A and B are shown apart, each in its own frame.
Chain A
């Protein structure tokens, strides 16, 4: 029962610029809710700490992010996997971002993710996770838009 979420945003920047942002993991990672401590481990591989907050529960994951496929300026695919800290749980996710022109100065970004929780978390966390994944996806979209457009005007996301 992997959870699929998707969404899209439109940003007021040309596609090449939007793509440049998206293919730069340190910048992209700042948009993922709860993601911090991004460290490069090798070409296309990064480690990070993902903190998921759901109601009164907080669960931290030590994850590895692997960029699988870079296809400028169309899209990027990534794989995220890791273990929960302090309880037996594992997250395995794939994420895809696709970019399309919307005129010269606008880009439409579509993102989709598929996230599976396993371990103890996978057993009991599903419905809660599902309910919050929509919110998290929306947050990601909002963050991304702000960051890409904010960058253009010189403000830091």
Chain B
């Protein structure tokens, strides 16, 4: 088993970050040429000198700017929309409301799970910030001025904001009837229902929890809460729609899911998919925000109504009203034997999905079934409720519901361990689920390296060495946590590899590079197969007219699914080249290989001087011409879970496991936590590009650091009070722990391309509970809610000392 140590990062060093040393040749695996190398991103220079393409910079002749007028009430009937003053503004072409939308789209509701979200509010609004009208003008300032002059009269309706309250009988109903989308295989079971705010409830049952609780030596019961936070991508959302002739449409959009945008827009318009073209460029961060439909339907409708290109770009503030992370209330009850073995666990989770479902039902179901954690617990009952509330919609945010659950189960794990006097790492070992054992859903676990992760965590944290907790007003502590995710299934990816007339190669796939270096990864995979350098591969950016279908770039699925598709496509192209060379040389295909940018005979076979790809193309087409197209697609196996018990023998193509260890210093007079050391350990299968993997892990950890210590969307009756980066603070350079480390465990995954698994979210699962566990270790304060702001910590400390801080009047 190969393990790789990544260099610890120090925030104070000004030297460039050194990529980890290349792997020494491994006895068990052949040496790779491109795989496993920390090749710098293909687009590095272009990004630094500002020549890279972002949709944000795109300008089209005759383009109109759209600005959205948003609801100021959380729940209300629209009585009247007055656009007269807005139309008076110089440069304004039109003001679009649902009335105009209906002319083009008779049923203007979209969404990946339910068709519940209207392109513009129809009849009523369900959250503060909901788009009600769009002002279109020659310049963005005129559009903004006009949008501000639109006057809307609402008849307020009773609103509900808390996820548990909204799921209870008697709560105001936000959607009268729900219409399932039926777009994705894994959500096909959603039923239309009415009279409730619970969009979806899913259940997992194994064994008999009640009996097990009754016979347990200890029962622990807690409620954990996490609030809403926002992605805050560097590049806010932007989409630009452009009519193409009388019957076509192109949408340029910063989206992680171009294939979905095409199918959803064509469905809304009632057009065949081949009349809608969607293209993306690099994204200035995605993080889950830029998925499914965000601005695309609005710009499409506006462009077609006005027969002009229409651009809408959100400000950072507007994104707080567009999509957030799910807040969640997790009620966890665990039965434990006196030797520390957990025997039963019930987890009841209420997911605050906001006013529109977006991908919430998948979050609650697909992450929900891991709610018991990476543990071997015989009796399990998991209930997950995706709930509507009158807050802005919640959807995918890096982690996809996992970090809310890990917060709960890893906090409780430490509480249990402390109560029973068991070392926290030992407690995890005693209960860990291992390869060959059945997960709570019945699937036999494989490709999960929990012991290696725990070993690496213990080592990096010097866990078995004494730790000085200090005696003054600054106390120190350390804590660990491990979290698990099941990659979403079933999903498909397809890719093509082209060899051009001169032998140069290109990869065409719809995976979106949003800063996770996917272009480089796919290029490395193709290059490895074709025997060419990574830098020689051109990666064509997603364009639904050109690049084949991909489910979406989300959930850490691309390296695995698209990586496999690209590998197959490259193999197909390679085989075609080999056949040409076989024909030319008289050798059999099996005696030839692609190596060093040419086709040669394998060692030990009659010598063939070889031919370059260019020469092969020449041989095939008679001149520098033609294209060889290799195609590959990948869809993993999957067994749908039982509707009552959630049991399935094949619930995920791969498991992700992330461990975190934190050392903190807490100022007992202010409650401020400083994370002095943060270790991230991931089970990655194989690191295709170790430097990229390291950055994914530490980047995710830094993001979670913000959520843990200070990020929080604060609401007052549905209004976001801190919808601005002036008040909603995200981590900066000075917040990064002095000692920030990433380490990977590499046990090649049986099904991943060259053994690789996804890793984009792994670093985000565990830092929060690791830090909270460290806080307990330092000062004995038990926490249940995030974030751990200084005030919350100080109040908890003072409660414990029995001299509580007073409350404001």
Contacts and interface: CB of A to CB of B under 8 A. Distances in A.
Chains A and B share a contact (CB less than 8 Å):
yes
Interface of A: 1-2, 83, 86-90, 116-120, 122-124, 126
A123 B723 contact: yes
A96 B424 CA distance: 56
Contacts of A122: 716, 719-721
A89 B714 CA distance: 17
B724 A123 contact: yes
A1 B726 CA distance: 17
Interface in B43-91: 69-70, 72-73
Interface in B283-331: 317, 320
A120 B716 CA distance: 13
29 contacts: A1-B721, A2-B717, A83-B72, A83-B152, A86-B148, A86-B149, A87-B148, A88-B72, A90-B72, A116-B716, A116-B717, A116-B719, A118-B72, A118-B717, A118-B718, A118-B719, A119-B70, A119-B719, A122-B716, A123-B317, A123-B320, A123-B720, A123-B722, A123-B723, A123-B724, A123-B727, A124-B723, A124-B726, A124-B727
Contacts of A126: 721
A87 B320 CA distance: 18
A89 B723 CA distance: 13
Nearest to B145: A86
B151 interface: yes
A89 B72 contact: yes
Given A2-B717, A124-B724, A126-B721, A118 B73 contact: yes
A124 B717 CA distance: 16
Nearest to A86: B148
B128 interface: yes
B174 to A, nearest CB: 18
Nearest to A1: B716
Interface string B472-509: 00000000000000000000000000000000000000
Nearest to A125: B721
A125 B458 CA distance: 48
A124 B721 CA distance: 7
Contacts of A86: 148-149
Contacts of A89: 72
A88 B148 contact: yes
Name which of B719, B722, B723 has the most chain A CB atoms within 10 A of its CB. Answer: B719
Contacts of B726: 124
A2 B727 CA distance: 17
A106 B69 CA distance: 50
Contacts of B320: 123
B351 to A, nearest CB: 25
Lowest 4 A-B CB distances belong to which pairs? A90-B72, A118-B719, A123-B723, A119-B72
A118 B128 contact: yes
Given A83-B152, A122-B721, 19 more contacts: A1-B721, A2-B717, A83-B151, A86-B148, A86-B149, A88-B72, A88-B147, A89-B72, A116-B717, A116-B719, A118-B716, A118-B719, A119-B72, A119-B128, A119-B719, A123-B320, A123-B719, A123-B722, A123-B723
A2 B716 contact: yes
B316 to A, nearest CB: 11
B716 to A, nearest CB: 4
A124 B317 CA distance: 10
Contacts of B718: 118
Contacts of B73: 90, 118
Nearest to B129: A119
A116 B74 CA distance: 13
B72 A1 contact: no
A88 B722 contact: no
Nearest to B321: A123
Contacts of B717: 2, 116, 118
Interface in B718-748: 718-724, 726-727
B173 to A, nearest CB: 22
A2 B808 CA distance: 13
Nearest to B719: A118
Contacts of B716: 1-2, 116, 118, 122
Nearest to A123: B723
A47 to B, nearest CB: 12
Contacts of B721: 1, 122-123, 126
B498 to A, nearest CB: 49
Contacts of B147: 88
Contacts of A90: 72-73
Nearest to A6: B809
A132 B147 CA distance: 28
A86 B723 CA distance: 19
A123 B723 CA distance: 6
Nearest to B74: A118
A126 B152 CA distance: 23
Contacts of B727: 123-124
A2 B714 CA distance: 12
Contacts of A124: 723-724, 726-727
Contacts of B69: 88
Contact of B70 (A2, A83, A88, A116): A88
Nearest to B149: A86
Most central of A1, A2, A123 by chain B CB within 10 Å: A123
A15 B128 CA distance: 42
B325 to A, nearest CB: 19
A89 B768 CA distance: 35
Nearest to B721: A1
Contacts of B151: 83
Contacts of B724: 123-124
Nearest to B72: A90
A124 B718 CA distance: 15
A123 B69 CA distance: 16
A138 B457 CA distance: 60
A2 B717 CA distance: 9
A2 B317 CA distance: 20
Contacts of A117: 719
A86 B70 CA distance: 14
Interface in B596-655: none
A90 B156 CA distance: 13
A83 B73 CA distance: 11
A120 B722 CA distance: 10
Contacts of A123: 317, 320, 719-724, 727
A100 to B, nearest CB: 21
B627 to A, nearest CB: 53
A1 B720 CA distance: 10
A116 B152 CA distance: 18
Contacts of A118: 72-73, 128, 716-719
Contacts of B128: 118-119
A88 B315 CA distance: 14
A124 B320 CA distance: 13
Interface string B798-809: 000000000000
A82 to B, nearest CB: 10
Nearest to B715: A1
A88 B720 CA distance: 14
* Most chain A beta-carbon neighbours within 10 Å: one of B72, B73, B148, B320: B72
Nearest to A90: B72
A120 B721 CA distance: 9
